[in-house]
Amino acid sequence: MSNLIKGNAIATDEWTIVQLPAAKEEVRKQAGKVVLFKLTGEDLPTSEQVAITVVPASGKILVPLAVWLARKAEFTDRLNQGKIGIWLATHEPLELLATTDLNLFPVIAVYVERFPDGRIFSLGNLLRTRYGYKNELRAFGDVLRDQLFFLKRSGFDSYLIRADRSAEDALAGLRDFSEPYQGAVDNTQPVWRRYSRQAAHPQPKKVAPSHATAGDLD
Amino acid sequence: MYIYDDIDQRLVDERVAQYRDQTRRFLAGELSDDEFRPLRLQNGLYIQRHAPMLRIAVPYGMLSSRQLRKLGDIAKRYDRGYGHFSTRQNLQLNWPKLEDTPDILAELATVEMHAIQTSGNCIRNITTDQFAGVAPDEVVDPRAMAEILRQWSTFHPEFALLPRKFKIAVSGTKQDRAVVQMHDIGMEFYLDAHNKLAIKVWVGGGLGRTPILGSVIREHLEWQHALTYCEAIIRTYNLYGRRDNAYKARIKILVKALGIEEFKKQVEAEWAHLKDGPNTITEAELSRVAKHFEPMPYETLPAHDSSFDSAIASNPAFAAWVKRCVHPHKTSGYRAVTLSLKKHGQAPGDATSEQMHTVADLADEYSFGELRVSHEQNLILADVKLSELFALWEKARTKGLATPNIGLLTDIICCPGGDFCSLANAKSIPIATAIQAQFDNLDYLHDIGDIEINISGCMNACGHHHIGHIGILGVDKDSAEFYQVSIGGKQGNDASIGSVIGPSFAAEEMPGVIQKLIDVYIKERTPEEHFIDTVRRIGLAPFKAHVYEKESANV
């Protein structure tokens, strides 16, 4: 059975994730990214890794961000057919995508190596709110039930649950809380803009919901 | 104080259900240790030396008598009949069973309490001045904003798994009592030139392994933008803070690495996108929450009370207590009272179930049924009539809650230390009680005057030792417990971080070391000069010389 959740249900996964080959040696320091290296201690893929990445000749594929950036010409036709998506790791800067029309991709996926890495939430938020990405936003890697609620609120709408865990069980994680306090991506309005909450009246009255609210809060 | 509506209540109820299921899955082997750890930590549950430790949130230190009774009952039923009030104004239980923690949280939810985000790498309990709303030097009561920040930070999806813990303090007074400069974000509320509520924002302060006072990132922020500005700061931190080394992961390290100017530039660039967005606070929301913190229904009372004056004149013990434990109040005829949890010989900050019930009763009888927890680990009744202080004192005294030592040497701020905490290098409570025993003479204590001693059992600095006038840090030296001493730290507007005086000491030497430091102060002080002032005036050298005198003579 598929371990993919799309929206609120288990779905078939049509996408193949293209992996980068393991890095061979020290990564060169790209100009302008020195601070990033120093602070996160994580490297971006090398040009050699990018060059030797093997891409399947057919089917829907998610290619690593660095591969897409360096080799986009190879993918033009498949992109037009809606068969190319990209994936990035949590330490890769979104600025690399500044000049790309993200909505050409049917899927963008973010890889989280270890679930306590909360950068994935900021990346999801920025892809939706700053970069205007509207299609499927997928989390994969160490994706577990107890982070799904936060992922959903941060703009993700598909979750490839770690292979040794049940996606069926994980569905419950999407419903942990019914009325969050703060505005986020899935529901931009904070609670005080959704309800008329009055100190004197413990029963809050619902105000006309914005479109973003409808259907998302159950 | 803030009263939950259905939305608040449902959230904590859903949290209990969520946590109950997480605990069930852990016990059933469906969650690994590593997977359960952040989940239980974000519910305040540590796995400790003897048993789990559960940290219960006391938002910005405010409690109702009903809540305190419930805490007393929980401590009795699920623990050993006492709890420990911490320097983050929370309550810690040292002996609960893991299996019981979902039930404890369910009990807490019945009195609008929880343990949400009291630990873990997320936004922690918002802290503030224990005299908020009643302090005469208060410009703005920060509690409404603290509550708004509490709600906003609760399950904030983007900041659920930060590189490291994140602490925010707010203050609205001329004299800072919330130590805003030692927080990841410190917010000082004030009225600007146009008499509008504004915020001075500090960032990147913190104690721990690398003590740094915060830097001002913004002198003036309009209050509506408090949340979006915090989002800009924390997003920058979330994306670029280090995650490879837990000791280098606090925001202070990022601020230091980038420099405050560059960090500010990045935050402001981020904020340009968030400013005026939906999380901008509305007038309506501020006024809704502020209604919960309106002044108590005070009586109109004269500034003086003759029965109080005569009790002071005739009863020296009462007078001593008033001098140390009673504080000025905005409203004529009222005072704030600190009930000391620093009785000599008792672990600082600990309260028994019985004491919690007593304090709850006293709060009902004398202080509108509310109380506060201070970061100095005492309990405060904020609104007591001058004419009722004597009656309150007599009752508090019989329960060991009226030690007249607030602000004195034995009002020691102290973490649970090696007796309980698995992070600790050394015990801290026995050091505190040994010092209390050394200075167990009230006249002498009053002569020494205002001084703060802070003890931490390790460099995580829960006892805030860096900002103690005398700071004591437990260190591990060849597997033995030793104590490093610093002097010259201070909280407040002119906060400073203490300097280590020299090689560390064995536990049994500590009371003597403190005695020597005090001896130098007594010898060198000018009239009216407090310990910290003398240290600042004459520097470390005379203290150091006297403390290490004997050792030098032997060389």
Q: Which residues of A touch B244 (CB under 8 A)?
A: 40-42
pLDDT greater than 70 at residue A28:
no
Q: Which run of H or E residues covers position B126?
A: none
pLDDT of residue A210: 46
pLDDT of res. B95: 86
CB contact under 8 A, B257 and A38: yes
Q: Which fold has domain B306-398?
A: Sulfite Reductase Hemoprotein; domain 2 (3.90.480)
Chain B: residue whose CA lies nearest to A121: B158
pLDDT score, position A208? 52
Given a cut of 90, whether residue B522 has pLDDT beyond it is yes
Say if residue B200's pLDDT is above 90.
yes
Whether residue B434 lies within 8 A of chain A, CB to CB, comes out as: no
Q: Which positions 109-128 of A are in contact with B (Cβ < 8 Å)? A: 115-119, 121-123, 125
Confidence (pLDDT) at A204: 54
Q: Any idea how long chain A is?
A: 218
Summarised one tens digit per residue, pLDDT across range B6-16 is 999 999 999 99
Q: In what order do the strands lie in the sheet with B91-93?
A: B45-47, B52-56, B91-93, B82-85, B350-352
- Asked if B186 and B167 count as a contact pair (C-beta separation under 8 A), the reply is no
Taking the C-alpha atoms of residue A102 and residue A100, their distance in angstroms, rounded to an integer, is 6
Q: Does residue A34 have a pLDDT over 80?
A: no
The nearest CA of chain A is from the CA of B335 a distance in Å of: 27
Q: Inspect the interface and report whether the beta carbons of B7 and A197 lie closer than 8 Å.
A: yes
CB count in 10 Å sphere of residue B549:
11
Model pLDDT, residue A40 = 47
Residue B209 banded pLDDT, cuts 50, 70, 90: confident
Reported as a single tens digit per residue, the pLDDT across B473-484 is 999 988 899 999
Q: What is the mean pLDDT of residues B515-523?
A: 96
Residues of B in contact with A139 (CB under 8 A): none
Q: SS3 for B125?
A: coil
Architecture, CATH, for domain B143-290: 2-Layer Sandwich (3.30)
Residue B434: per-residue pLDDT:
95
Domain B6-109 classified CATH 3.40.50.2300? no
pLDDT at A199: 62
* B42 interfacial to chain A (CB closer than 8 Å): no
Question: What confidence tier does B111 reach under pLDDT thresholds 50, 70, 90?
Answer: very high
Averaged pLDDT for residues B180-204: 96
Say if A193 is an interface residue toward chain B (CB within 8 Å).
yes
Identical fold for domains B143-290 and B413-554, yes or no, is: yes
Residues B354, A137: Cα–Cα separation, whole Å: 54
H or E segment to which residue B215 belongs:
strand B215-222
- Tallying the residues shown for chain B, one arrives at 555
Condensed to tens digits (0 to 9), the pLDDT of residues A92-145 reads 999 999 999 999 999 999 999 999 999 999 999 999 999 999 999 999 999 999
Q: What is the pLDDT of residues A64-81, one digit of tens each?
A: 999 999 999 999 999 999
Q: Which of B112, B116, B126 lies closest to B42, judged by CA? A: B116
Q: What is the CATH number of domain A4-176?
A: 3.20.20
- Hey, is the C-beta of A158 within 8 angstroms of any chain B C-beta? no
B-chain CB neighbours of A178 within 8 Å are: 10, 14
Provide the token pair at B513: 């070391």
Q: Buried b vs exposed e over B48-65: b needs ≥16 C-beta within 10 Å?
A: beebbbbbbbbbbbbbbb
Chain A interface includes B280 (CB < 8 A): no
User: What is the C-alpha to C-alpha distance for residues A111 and A139, in angstroms, rounded to an integer?
Assistant: 6
Q: Do B161 and A203 touch (CB under 8 A)?
A: no
Identify the pLDDT of residue B168: 97
> What secondary structure does DSSP assign to B472-519, as a single string?
EEEEEETTEEEEEEEE--B-STT-B--EE-SS-EEGGGHHHHHHHHHH
pLDDT value of residue A32: 44
CB of A204 within 8 Å of a chain B CB? The answer is: yes
Q: For B157, which of A115, A154, A188 is closest by C-beta distance?
A: A154
Contact call for B157 and A184, based on CB within 8 A: yes
List every span in chain A annotated with CATH 3.20.20: 4-176
Which H helix or E strand runs over A201?
A: strand A201-206
Tokens of B285: 């929301």
A191 closest CB neighbour out of B7, B240, B254: B7
Q: What is the mean pLDDT of residues A147-160?
A: 98
Q: What is the pLDDT of residue B304?
A: 96
Delimit the domains of chain B by residue range. Answer: 6-109, 143-290, 306-398, 413-554
Chain B interface test: which of A182, A195, A218 (most B C-beta within 10 Å):
A182
Q: Which three-class secondary structure string do you get for B138-165?
A: ECCCCHHHHHHHHHHHCCCHHHCCCCCC
Q: Is the pLDDT score of B167 beyond 80?
A: yes
List C-alpha distances in Å: B499 to A63, A75, B2, B175, B536: 54, 62, 41, 23, 11
DSSP state of A73: G
Per-residue pLDDT for A214 more than 50? Answer: no
Quickly name the fold that domain B413-554 has: Sulfite Reductase Hemoprotein; domain 1 (3.30.413)
Averaged over B183-211, what is the pLDDT?
95
**Chain B contact set for A38 (CB, 8 A):** 257
Contact criterion met (CB < 8 Å) for B160 and A150: yes
- The pLDDT, as a whole number, for residue B210 is 85
φ/ψ of residue B311, rounded to 5: -65, -40
Please check the confidence at residue A215 and state whether its pLDDT lies above 80.
no
Question: Looking at the complex, does the CB of residue A168 fall below 8 Å from at least one CB of chain B?
Answer: no
Where does the pLDDT of residue A44 fall: very low under 50, low under 70, confident under 90, or very high at 90 and above?
confident
Identify which of B117, B48, B86, B93 has the alpha carbon closest to the alpha carbon of residue B415: B86
* Interface check B7 vs A, CB under 8 A: yes
Cα B102–chain centre separation: 26
pLDDT in the model for residue A41: 55
What's the Cα-to-Cα distance from B300 to each of B85, B296, B385, rounded to whole Å?
34, 12, 11
In this complex, is the C-beta atom of A182 within 8 Å of any C-beta atom belonging to chain B? yes
Q: Which residue does chain A place closest to B39, by CA atoms?
A: A146
Q: How many CB pairs under 8 A join A and B?
A: 142
pLDDT tens per residue, range B22-43: 999 999 999 999 999 999 999 9
* Contact (CB, 8 A) for B181 and B213: yes
CB-based contacts of A211, cutoff 8 Å, min separation 6: none
Across chain B, mean pLDDT equals 95
For A154-192, the pLDDT digits (tens) are 999 999 999 999 999 999 999 999 999 999 999 999 999
Q: If you average pLDDT over residues B435-457, what whole number do you get?
A: 94
